[in-house]
Amino acid sequence: MRVGILTGGGDCPGLNAVVRAAVIAGTQRHGMGFVGFLDGWRGVLDGETVPLDEAAVRPLLGLGGTVLGSSRTNPFEGGAEQGVARVQEQLAALGVDALLAIGGEDTLGVATALHEAGVPVVGAPKTIDDDLSATDATFGFDTAVQTAVDACDRLRTTGASHHRAMIVEVMGRHAGWIALHTGMAAGAHVTLLPEEDVDLDAVGATLREVLARGEAPLVVVSEGARVHGDEAVRNAPRDAFGHVQLGGAGQALEHEVAARVPGLSTRVTVLGHLLRGGTPSAADRVLATRFGLSAIEALAAGDLGTMASLRGVDVVQVPLADATGVLRTVPESRRAETAGLRW
Ligand code: F6P
Helix (H) or strand (E) holding 281: none
Residue with the nearest Cα to atom 15 of ligand 1? 10
State if residue 10 touches ligand 1 by the CB under 6 angstroms criterion.
yes
Q: Is 220 helix (H, G, I), strand (E, B) or coil?
A: strand
What are the backbone angles phi and psi of residue 341, rounded to the nearest 5°?
A: -85, 140
Residue with the nearest Cα to atom 10 of ligand 1? 10
Beta strand ranges found along 249-338 (DSSP E): 266-270, 306-311, 314-319
**CA gap 69, 51 in Å, rounded:** 14
Ligand 1 atom showing the smallest separation from residue 241 Cα: 16
Residue 243 has pLDDT above 80, yes or no: no
Q: Of these residues, 11, 129, 131, 142, which one is catalytic? A: 129
Instruction: Give 298 or 240, the one with higher predicted confidence.
Output: 298
State if residue 255 touches ligand 1 by the CB under 6 angstroms criterion.
no
Is 306 one of the annotated binding-site residues? no
Q: Hey, do 2-139+280-325 and 143-276 end up sharing a CATH topology, with the first three levels equal?
A: yes
Would you state the pLDDT for residue 13?
Answer: 98
Give the residue-averaged pLDDT of 6-33. Answer: 98
Would you state the pLDDT for residue 60?
Answer: 98
State if residue 172 touches ligand 1 by the CB under 6 angstroms criterion.
yes
Would you state the pLDDT for residue 48?
Answer: 98
Share above pLDDT 70 across residues of the chain, in percent, rounded to a whole number: 96
Residue 324 has pLDDT above 90, yes or no: no
Is 129 one of the annotated binding-site residues? yes
Structure confidence at residue 230 as a pLDDT band (50, 70, 90): low
Is 287 one of the annotated binding-site residues? no
Pocket test for ligand 1, best of 126, 138, 173, 245 (most atoms within 8 A of CB): 173
* Domain covering 2-139+280-325 assigned CATH 2.130.10.10 in the classification: no
Question: What's the pLDDT tens digit per position in 288-302?
Answer: 999 999 999 999 999
Contacts of 314 (CB under 8 A, 6+ apart): none
Is 246 one of the annotated binding-site residues? no
Ligand 1 atom showing the smallest separation from residue 127 Cα: 1
Ligand 1 atom showing the smallest separation from residue 275 Cα: 4
| ipTM value for the complex | 0.95
Per-domain boundaries in the chain: 2-139+280-325, 143-276
Q: Distances in Å between the alpha carbon of 104 and those of 12, 161, 187?
A: 10, 41, 30
What are the backbone angles phi and psi of residue 76, rounded to the nearest 5°?
A: -95, 5
Contacts of 340 (CB under 8 A, 6+ apart): none
Residue 38 has pLDDT above 80, yes or no: yes
State if residue 253 touches ligand 1 by the CB under 6 angstroms criterion.
no
Q: Of 103, 94, 108, 97, nearest to 49 (Cα)?
A: 94
Residue 232 has pLDDT above 80, yes or no: no
Q: How many CB atoms lie within 10 A of CB 209?
A: 13
- For residue 245, the CA-to-ligand 1 centroid distance in Å is 10
Would you state the pLDDT for residue 80?
Answer: 86
Residue 229 has pLDDT above 90, yes or no: no
User: Burial letters for 324-334: b for 16+ Cβ neighbours within 10 Å, e otherwise?
Assistant: beeebbbeeeb
Contact 41, 88 (CB under 8 A): no
State if residue 125 touches ligand 1 by the CB under 6 angstroms criterion.
no
Residue with the nearest Cα to atom 1 of ligand 1? 10
Ligand 1 atom showing the smallest separation from residue 174 Cα: 6
- For residue 10, the CA-to-ligand 1 centroid distance in Å is 6
**CA gap 336, 343 in Å, rounded:** 15
For domain 143-276, the CATH superfamily is Phosphofructokinase domain (3.40.50.460)
- For residue 129, the CA-to-ligand 1 centroid distance in Å is 9
Give start and end residues of each alpha helix (H) in 174-281: 177-186, 200-212, 230-235, 248-260
Is 243 one of the annotated binding-site residues? no
Contact 309, 155 (CB under 8 A): no
- One DSSP character per residue, 43-103 reads HHHHT-EEEE-HHHHGGGTT--S-TT------TTTT-HHHHHHHHHHHHHHHT--EEEEEE
Would you state the pLDDT for residue 241?
Answer: 64
Enumerate the β-bridge partners of residue 220.
Answer: 168, 191
Is 276 one of the annotated binding-site residues? yes
Helix (H) or strand (E) holding 2: strand 2-7
Question: What's the pLDDT tens digit per position in 186-226?
Answer: 999 999 999 999 999 999 999 999 999 999 999 999 999 99
11 is catalytic: no
Residue with the nearest Cα to atom 4 of ligand 1? 171
Residue 127 CA, distance from chain mean position:
2
Average pLDDT over the chain, rounded to whole?
A: 95
State if residue 249 touches ligand 1 by the CB under 6 angstroms criterion.
no
Give the residue-averaged pLDDT of 40-48. Answer: 97
**CA gap 11, 193 in Å, rounded:** 22
Residue 126 has pLDDT above 80, yes or no: yes
Contact 79, 64 (CB under 8 A): no
